Amino acid sequence: MEKRLKFFKASISDLEEIQKLFVQTIKAAGPAHYNPAQINTWISSVKNTSRWTEAIKDQYFLLSKIEDTLVGFASLKGGCYIDFMYVHYKHFRKGIAKQLLAQLEKEALELGHYELTADVSKTALAFFELNGFKMEKENQNIRNGVLITNYRMKKILQD
């Protein structure tokens, strides 16, 4: 029997589980595109609890679970900006990110937005390109003295 992916709105009580998935995924997938200093800097953002709490409270913050196990999460800020999108590394390439993206697109359209933007890692770039996003620019971000490159992406949504 195939296990079904289910979606839930995140709540503050999910924060620890969300952050654990975030760290595990970056540690597993990051080394293909980022050096150890960049990965550690990226992971250190998990300590900014107020940012995470505000995102869960103020954004359309969606969890994906198989049975009771969190396998991914994504959030939509302001109805048109993908702030977070992570899938547990043990569940890569199983269509979870694609289904999360479809949920975010549906929400954006329901709110009257016809484009989505995101700043995506080198790791996620191919996924976004395969799902209709176009690169607008390369971002050079300095965080704690460490340069981390990501990409501003945009997708026009069809009703």
In 3D space, the residue among 58, 66, 74 whose CA is nearest the CA of residue 120 turns out to be: 74
What pLDDT, in 10s, does the model give residues 123-140? 999 999 999 999 999 999
Helix segments in the chain, DSSP class H: 15-29, 36-44, 49-58, 96-110, 122-130
Q: What percentage of the chain has pLDDT greater than the value 90?
A: 94
User: How many residues in total does the chain contain?
Assistant: 159
Q: Which helix (H) or strand (E) holds 141?
A: strand 134-143
Residues 74 and 63 sit within 8 Å (Cβ to Cβ):
no
Residue 139 structure tokens: 């971002």
What confidence tens digit (pLDDT) does each residue in 25-82 have? Answer: 999 998 999 999 999 999 999 999 999 999 999 999 999 999 999 999 999 999 999 9
Structural domains of the chain, with CATH = 5-113 (3.40.630.30)
Structure tokens at 113: 């937005």
